[in-house]
Amino acid sequence: MDDHRFCENCGHDLWMRRGGAARAPSGPCPACGTTGSNGVVGANGFGVDEAGEDYCGTCGLRRSDGTEHVEADLGRVAGVSDRGLVHVRNEDAMAVGVLDPPDGPTLVAAVVCDGVSSVDSPELASRAGADAALVRLLHPGGPNMKEAVGEAATAVAALADAGYRNPPSCTLVAAVVDPGTGGDPTITVGWVGDSRVYWLAAPDAAEPARLLTVDHSWAVEMIAAGALDVETAMADRRAHAITRWLGAGGEPEPDVVTFRPAGPGLLLLCSDGLWNYLPGAADLAEAALPRLERGGPAAVARALTTIALDAGGRDNVTVVAVPVGPSDERRY
């Protein structure tokens, strides 16, 4: 069905536009100027060792993999992922994309993954999970959230073969917007772990702002099960411990919700680097919607990232914004 999808000359994908990945820069070490030919530790030119770590073979500085600050703006979806102010690496990853086949609806999808810090190379898990899920969500045969999360889980699990003591793992939250035939978009959201999706709209909108996901975290599950009250659960040392994740030892079973909003709004995907500072949907809407009006989803992603950094930036921050509904009908 996708015979004409790829350019006959260069193999370029003509239907899908993607963003969100960062590539490791090549060339000399920015700190000491060493190039691959005059100072190497490992076989790849810059001392990548068996554990997948990447340091300059001369001065020892970790070489940037380009993920300190990543921005993606595809118009219909935009995101920012930032290392934050405390963490050495950005262990979050995002993947955003638009599939525009000639004879089908234009799908918009976004994925945010947050690496589990206590394992080896969590940034690899996030990257692999986000990419695998996005590709499946933007399949011309139609999005399938369960399959997308399943493929992400497989991709993350495959990293364990590289001989890690604590194999990489991550959370995942994904959303796909199908515009529908009659102008009624369908939104499907799937998640594993404590990254979140919010629906943002004005307080008086037909479809009011709210959190669409339920964290797979110790505290939330304790509260949901009626075992503990909110205060006791949140005060516990384990409150933020995630109970589902992709990767070794995790339960990659996603929760999936589908809904057709009664009005236009903004879909917001984020890692806990944002929602730890601004957990309420109404507050997020208040911060986001004026920016959407003025600068589109890219301005929203940038503004919310800045809010998290200004509040301390203790964790990696990833924010992806997807406007939903025809722009001329949107009332915020």
Partner 1 sequence: MADGAASGAGAFTVDVDQNSYLPVDATRVDAIVTVTAADGAAGPAPASEVLEVIVVDCSTSMTGSKIRAARQATVAAIAELRDGVSFAVVAGNHVTRQVFPTHGTAVADAGSRAAATRLVERLQAEGGTGIGNWLTHVGGLAREHPGSIKHAILLTDGQNGESPEYFSNALNGALGAFTCDCRGVGTDWRVDELRTIATAMLGTVDIVADPADLAADFRSIMGEAMGKSVADLALRLWTPRGASVRFVKQVAPAVEDLTDRRTEAARQSGDYPLGSWGAESRDYHLAIEVPQGAVGDEMLAGRVSIVRPGSGDTPEQVLGQGLVKAIWTEDTALSTRISRGVAHYTGQAELAEAIQEGLAARKAGDEVTATARLGRAVALAAASGNEGTARLLGRVVEVVDAPSGTVRLRRVVADVDEMTLDTRSTRTVRVRGDG
Instruction: Report the alpha-carbon distance of residue 140 to residue 146 in Å, rounded.
Output: 16
**For partner 1, which is the closer residue by CB, 51 or 224?**
51
DSSP state of 63: P
Minimum CB separation of residue 332 from partner 1 in Å reads 37
**For partner 1, which is the closer residue by CB, 115 or 193?**
115
**For partner 1, which is the closer residue by CB, 51 or 235?**
51
**For partner 1, which is the closer residue by CB, 165 or 237?**
165
**For partner 1, which is the closer residue by CB, 162 or 211?**
162
Which residues in 220-279 contact partner 1 (CB under 8 A)? none
Centroid of chain to Cα 48:
26
Interface with partner 1 includes 120 (CB under 8 A)? Answer: yes
Nearest Cα neighbor of 199 from 153, 251, 259 is 259
DSSP state of 132: H
Q: Please report how the helices 122-137 and 145-158 are oriented relative to each other, as an axis angle in degrees rounded to 10.
A: 150
Which residues in 83-102 contact partner 1 (CB under 8 A)? 86, 88-89
Which residues in 37-76 contact partner 1 (CB under 8 A)? 39, 41, 47, 49-51, 53, 55-56, 58-62
Binding to partner 1 by CB under 8 A, coded x per residue (else -) over 127-166, reads -----------------------------------xxxxx
What is the identity of the amino acid at 116? V
Q: In what order do the strands lie in the sheet with 78-82?
A: 69-73, 78-82, 317-324, 265-270, 196-200, 210-211
- Site size toward partner 1 (CB under 8 A) is 26
Minimum CB separation of residue 129 from partner 1 in Å reads 20
Question: How would you label 161-192 residue by residue, b for 16+ Cβ within 10 Å and e otherwise?
Answer: eeebeebbbbbbbbbbbbbeeeeebbbbbbbb
Q: Residue holding tokens 């898990």?
A: 125
**For partner 1, which is the closer residue by CB, 162 or 257?**
162
Residues lying near partner 1 in the complex (CB under 8 A): 32, 39, 41, 47, 49-51, 53, 55-56, 58-62, 86, 88-89, 117-118, 120, 162-166
